[in-house]
Structure 1
Amino acid sequence: MACPETFSDEPLTPAGGFFFSRKHIVIHCTLRGKNPADIDAIKSAIKSSLMVQHPRFCSLLVHDKKGFEHWRRTQIDIDRHVIVINNRLDKSGDFVFEYQGSTAEEDDEAAVNQYVADLTVSCPLSMDKPLWELHVLMAHKCAVFRIHHALGDGISLMSMLMASCRRTDDADALPRMVPDKRPEIKGGKGREWFWLFGVLWWFLKMVLFTLAFSMEFVLKTFLFSDEKTVITGGDGVELWPRKLVTAKFLLDDMKAVKRAVPNTTINDVLLGVVSSGLSRYLDHRTPNGLREGLRMTGVAMVNIRAQPGLQDLSKLMKNKSEARWGNKFGAILLPVYYHKSGNDPLEYLKSAKATVDKKKHSLEAIFSYWIGSLVMSLLGSKYACMLNYKLLCNTTFTISNIVGPLEEISLAGNPLSSIKVNTSSLPQAITMHMLSYGGKAEMQILVAEDIIPDPQFLAKCLEDALLEMKQAALRTYNSL
């Protein structure tokens, strides 16, 4: 597939330059098929997809005489982007040349996870071709889509993936997605004064929360860091060897927990699970070694497009669209607190909901986006990346959640059994990315193995935290 070469170079945007720091940030999307991969079908699907029509996916990153970075259109050689791995991998990520029959599904998943974990620290994307590639692991019926974060954020890239997929129950239909919902202020007839008072109170709280959280964001970036624990990362940790594990949740379980507290969302449940799970893990690693209520801070990425949720790809590719292709997200700080075992599991959920409700009522995400853009514009990517790196070093973990398709889907004619995402190593010791698909929510947990020597136990702590919350929720229903 050839891209026209008559276009002039396009400067790298401030948001794009943000991801060319001391270590390039790469998104990994693992797609597991139900059938063996057909390489010819995959290449044909890529050649006919909207992806290779997008300028970012058929451009090289080049430097001009002044050292400024630009995108330059080039020819795409599909064979260089599709990397086929025929040999089976073992749980340590090494090739197995003498395969002795079938392996357990857990071992198969562990082998793929370790392969991806090794990619995050040892295999940067080659700069002499457009910054994406597809690794097809034939023996494991899966593929790993690697995309440089400068090409787009999770919403853009998931929208592009969904545009290339079809529903398994209707080969001509695109996957259906569930958009996020934002709260609305509603008034009633005959209550104008009450409605006006409500609007003023809502606006006042938004201003106060925005000021408080923005100040906290600045202080956390420059001055204050989380207290040190056995799960704390720091400067240089992004270069350490990694392990990747998967925590698996049922969406029905998360919905059961959600109903236990009015007006709760799946994101509230997720943060409550993380808070409870990390407390469980720390109890195991350092029993009686931490003070009650110790704060750990997570960094969460928030889509700030005018239209939330996954977008129609045609809208994202329009230059003047409010949806906007690329990186359009801000960051918010999500505190979680350590509590010794024995507390009411739903207290974690109530605390998480209170935190998230205040965050949603503020403009912290927009503030972080614009302050990053301002620093990029005035001082350049070097200083913006330094600030971002400092923030990550001063916090404990990164977390994100993307809503997947409602029904099962297929790619290049192959039904997908799972979709999982993660990003390359950050200076934190723990990064967590959850994506829901087919009634399940799978969280990829990427850890620095020298800091988190037992990542599978960490995943189990998170899974057990949800189950314990579900049992507490069912007890709440029965008592009503």
Structure 2
Amino acid sequence: MGSSSAAAATTDSDEPVTPAGRLFLQPQMNQIIYCVMGFKNPIDIDSIKSQVRSSLMLTHPRFSSLMVRDSHGRERWHKTTHIDLDRHVIVLHDPVSSSSSSDDETAVNDYLADLSTGSGLPTDKPMWEFHLLIAHKVGIFRIHHALGDGISLMSMFLASCRRADDQEKLPTLASGKSTKGVNERKGLWVLLCGFVAMVWFSMVFVVAFLLRCLWVCDRKTEISGGDGVELWPRKLATAKFTLQDMKLVKKAVPNATINDVLFGVISSGISRYLDHRKPNALPEGVQITGVAMTNLRELPGLQELSDLMRSNSRSSWGNKFGMLLLPIYYHNSKSNGDPLAYLKRSKVMIDKKKQSVEGHFSYKIGLFVMTYFGPKVATWLNYRILCNTSFTISNILGPQEEITVGGNPITYLRASSSSLPHALTMHMVSYAERADMQILVAKDIIPDPAFLAKCFEEALLDMKEAAAAITET
């Protein structure tokens, strides 16, 4: 972070940065989100600038404000009267890789890996940038996490896009189904059992969460990070899935979801990778804990931007997510004959998490600590959780059909973030029947992220084959 945040004088009209936003401005938790889009056609720079200039983004208060600090050192949003687009749209004409053998994907991933441990966004301008890699036909939004979470930013981005098959229509947002009214049709006994389960699982998971904040940590493995690892050099690789394969697999297990399938793939893929790195080094069933972010808005999927912008909306703009601890268990891939066993175990665990209030608790306790004890204590607690666990995972639903920006069709959407104390961070984004997962690693701990990506891809294919066999019988 630059020291220029004090340059703009604060006024009474300045809006305080939310507690969650303040957390992401602390040096140890300084988080920048990278949204990557591949374009089908060569990039027209003037067209992109015109699209940004006329977009709703520039009218949004977060994207047109400076982050300043008042006389007490508290962060505030200060509305700026002028946005110099040339400082925000950064154009790189030459290839970003000096290696002639690098393909576009490798070159862009290497560029993102370098950015993930590079300097933060300057505070003498609104905290976002749009990098255009002309030689690779790629655009990269670089947005500070203090401006909003993945749901907010994806909704903002899609408001400026149009469907490829109809330029007059906005993309179709994938939203979760509301469960309101379902419980009203259940019997009293079922409701009572559900309440008891909610209380029990909440107690168990909340206690486990608090212990993780303090001293309980994972056993060290070949993917473990720790204190200071956020500063280590990074590598980035991409695992590619199709939603059709994931949907086929989830049908093999009753009431399974895409998130269940994703976590089953993560569990199987990490076990495969650990077998490759050090065969038979770990005892069967060792717990490896992940940290996942869960959207706490009333609707779990993407929202209309107009709804997010309403001040009285429950689906409000900003950072409104909780933290879940999602354990996986190492299993020797050679001795575990049923690929779907990983999915079944993941579903059981995630179903229990859904019945608890762990996500809401983590959000509320973070809000409480930040408000009453300040950012240093809140940062320490969050940093401890990351040091005591092994990886980060997130999953954002993207548009269901192909989209365009300024008339230029988008071939893929991907997301990644700044580095964390974890040596392994994974972000998956779905787009038009495909899902790409960016795998950001500390390269001195995980030197071969491309092989890890292959482990995940093969895990899904094995589950697909097992699911197809069940369907045939």
After superposition, where does 1:219-258 map in structure 2 within 5 Å? 219-258=211-250
Which residue identity does 1:60 align to in structure 2?
A: L
Partner residue of 1:22 out of 23, 27, 32: 27
In 2: Cα distance, 1:401 partner to 1:360 partner: 16
| Pair 1:317 & 2:309 matched | yes
1:123 Cα deviation (Å)?
A: 3.0
1:183 Cα deviation (Å)?
A: 4.7
For the residue of structure 2 that corresponds to 1:44, the secondary structure is: helix
| Pair 1:272 & 2:264 matched | yes
In 1: Cα distance, 2:246 partner to 2:351 partner: 18
Q: Give the aligned partner of residue 211 of structure 1.
A: 203
Residues 161-217 of structure 1: CA deviation (Å, up to 9, x unaligned): 00010001110100002212355674798xxxx701111111111111111111111
TM-score, normalization by structure 2: 0.95
Q: Is the 8 A contact 1:166 1:410 kept in 2?
A: yes
Q: Give the aligned partner of residue 111 of structure 2.
A: 115
Partner residue of 2:273 out of 266, 275, 281: 281
Q: Is the 8 A contact 2:183 2:191 kept in 1?
A: no
In 2: Cα distance, 1:478 partner to 1:224 partner: 45
For the residue of structure 2 that corresponds to 1:88, the secondary structure is: coil
- Pair 1:288–1:302, CA change in 2 (3 A): same
Q: Give the aligned partner of residue 90 of structure 2.
A: 83
More deviation, 41-50/290-299: 41-50
After superposition, where does 1:240-389 map in structure 2 within 5 Å? 240-342=232-334, 343=336, 344-389=338-383
Aligned pairs, how many? 460
Which residue identity does 1:251 align to in structure 2?
A: L
After superposition, where does 1:181-192 map in structure 2 within 5 Å? 181=177, 183=179, 186=182
For the residue of structure 2 that corresponds to 1:133, the secondary structure is: strand
Q: Give the aligned partner of residue 31 of structure 1.
A: 37
In 1: Cα distance, 2:23 partner to 2:154 partner: 20
In 2: Cα distance, 1:221 partner to 1:464 partner: 34
Q: Is the 8 A contact 2:34 2:141 kept in 1?
A: yes
Which residue identity does 1:250 align to in structure 2?
A: T
| Pair 1:54 & 2:60 matched | yes
| Pair 1:439 & 2:433 matched | yes
Q: Give the aligned partner of residue 168 of structure 1.
A: 164
- Pair 1:284–1:183, CA change in 2 (3 A): farther
Which residue identity does 2:143 align to in structure 1?
A: I
1:321 Cα deviation (Å)?
A: 1.5
Q: Is the 8 A contact 1:185 1:199 kept in 2?
A: no
In 2: Cα distance, 1:158 partner to 1:188 partner: 33
For the residue of structure 2 that corresponds to 1:181, the secondary structure is: coil
Q: Give the aligned partner of residue 404 of structure 1.
A: 398
Partner residue of 1:180 out of 152, 173, 176: 176
1:308 Cα deviation (Å)?
A: 2.2
Q: Give the aligned partner of residue 4 of structure 2.
A: none
- Pair 1:110–1:187, CA change in 2 (3 A): closer
For the residue of structure 1 that corresponds to 2:318, the secondary structure is: coil
Which residue identity does 1:223 align to in structure 2?
A: W
Q: Give the aligned partner of residue 14 of structure 2.
A: 9
Residues 213-260 of structure 1: CA deviation (Å, up to 9, x unaligned): 111110111110000001100000000000010000011111111011
Q: Give the aligned partner of residue 6 of structure 2.
A: none
TM-score, normalization by structure 1: 0.93
Q: Is the 8 A contact 2:322 2:361 kept in 1?
A: yes
Q: Is the 8 A contact 2:239 2:456 kept in 1?
A: yes
- Pair 1:183–1:350, CA change in 2 (3 A): farther
In 1: Cα distance, 2:213 partner to 2:422 partner: 14
For the residue of structure 1 that corresponds to 2:35, the secondary structure is: strand
1:11 Cα deviation (Å)?
A: 1.2
For the residue of structure 1 that corresponds to 2:159, the secondary structure is: helix
Which residue identity does 2:176 align to in structure 1?
A: D
| Structure 2: segments with no counterpart, 5+ residues | 1-9
Which residue identity does 1:285 align to in structure 2?
A: R
Which residue identity does 1:395 align to in structure 2?
A: T
In 1: Cα distance, 2:260 partner to 2:406 partner: 35
Residues 322-362 of structure 1: CA deviation (Å, up to 9, x unaligned): 11100000010100000001311111000000011111111
In 1: Cα distance, 2:285 partner to 2:181 partner: 34
1:13 Cα deviation (Å)?
A: 1.2
After superposition, where does 1:396-475 map in structure 2 within 5 Å? 396-475=390-469
1:364 Cα deviation (Å)?
A: 0.6
In 2: Cα distance, 1:423 partner to 1:242 partner: 11
Which residue identity does 1:76 align to in structure 2?
A: I
In 2: Cα distance, 1:183 partner to 1:476 partner: 30
For the residue of structure 2 that corresponds to 1:89, the secondary structure is: coil
What is the aligned-residue RMSD (CA, Å)? 1.6
Which residue identity does 1:294 align to in structure 2?
A: V
Q: Give the aligned partner of residue 132 of structure 1.
A: 128
Q: Is the 8 A contact 1:7 1:73 kept in 2?
A: no
In 2: Cα distance, 1:6 partner to 1:370 partner: 29
In 1: Cα distance, 2:184 partner to 2:304 partner: 34
- Pair 1:21–1:6, CA change in 2 (3 A): closer
Residues 345-403 of structure 1: CA deviation (Å, up to 9, x unaligned): 11100000001111111111000000000000101111111110110010000001011
